[in-house]
Chain A
Amino acid sequence: GQNIDQPTEMTATEGAIVQINCTYQTSGFNGLFWYQQHAGEAPTFLSYNVLDGLEEKGRFSSFLSRSKGYSYLLLKELQMKDSASYLCAVRDSNYQLIWGAGTKLIIKP
């Protein structure tokens, strides 16, 4: 079966750095996405990786290793507004997105 694993919840301190991991086992691979979802709101796109390596976008970076079935989202200089759930999703061989359950990130002052 297809599976996306992420930690359920993480806590970090304002101004610090946090890394959210995602491991996947899917039928085929056509890219990995990270989305942010604030409580009660819709998911919004953060990043996309299809090749191995690091993609940097401001305070957020995303890393992919296809051979290991592994990705992480790195958030730097954490702000209170970064408190949200972070969803990892993999596009499979049918070009459908398979979603992880999300990681709830709690930022403390």
Chain B
Amino acid sequence: IAGITQAPTSQILAAGRRMTLRCTQDMRHNAMYWYRQDLGLGLRLIHYSNTAGTTGKGEVPDGYSVSRANTDDFPLTLASAVPSQTSVYFCASSEEAGAPDTQYFGPGTRLTVL
């Protein structure tokens, strides 16, 4: 593993189903983030984690939950998917939250909810 990986690459999901998007980084970064990217809109922060064991809500958290049991993994769960959650989801990490450092992005998961 090098950098950030996400799985699956893409997924088609029936409305009402539960889905977990996986994110793993091997850079030992403390901070991790989940964004969604929709056409014509900027990246919008869903949830974030400043360090293992802590999480926080971003701009659009409703319908999503996260956990941060360890430094490397930051899964995003949709408890009951709805069509408005169709989007491209990016996981990102940075060395420290609150510092002027760069966020590194995973390759993204393209999710379609029907």
Q: Please, what's the 1-or-0 string for A68-109, where 1 marks a CB less than 8 Å from any CB in chain B?
A: 000000000000000000010101000111111110000000
Q: Residues of B with Cβ closer than 8 Å to A? A: 40-45, 48, 58, 90, 97-98, 100, 102-108
Interface pairs A-B: 4 shortest CB-CB: A99-B42, A42-B105, A99-B43, A95-B98
Most chain A beta carbons < 10 A, residue from B43, B97, B98, B100: B43
Q: Cβ of A30 < 8 Å from any Cβ of B?
A: yes
Contact B100 A48 (CB under 8 A): yes
14 contacts between A and B (CB under 8 A): A33-B102, A41-B107, A42-B90, A42-B107, A42-B108, A43-B105, A48-B102, A87-B42, A95-B97, A96-B58, A97-B43, A97-B45, A99-B43, A102-B42
Contact of B44 among A45, A48, A50, A99 (CB under 8 A): A99
Contact of B106 among A42, A50, A87 (CB under 8 A): A42
| B58: A residues at CB distance < 8 A | 96
Per the bound structure, the CA–CA distance linking A95 and B94 in Å amounts to 12
| A98: B residues at CB distance < 8 A | 42
Per the bound structure, the CA–CA distance linking A89 and B108 in Å amounts to 19
Contact A100 B107 (CB under 8 A): no
Q: How far is the CB of A20 from chain B (nearest CB, A)?
A: 14
Per the bound structure, the CA–CA distance linking A34 and B6 in Å amounts to 23
| A99: B residues at CB distance < 8 A | 42-44
Nearest B residue to A42 by beta-carbon distance?
A: B105
Per the bound structure, the CA–CA distance linking A48 and B100 in Å amounts to 8
Q: Cβ of A11 < 8 Å from any Cβ of B?
A: no
Given A43-B43, A87-B43, decide whether A31 and B107 contact each other with a Cβ distance below 8 A. no
Per the bound structure, the CA–CA distance linking A105 and B45 in Å amounts to 24
| A33: B residues at CB distance < 8 A | 102
Nearest B residue to A45 by beta-carbon distance?
A: B102
| A87: B residues at CB distance < 8 A | 42-43
| B106: A residues at CB distance < 8 A | 42
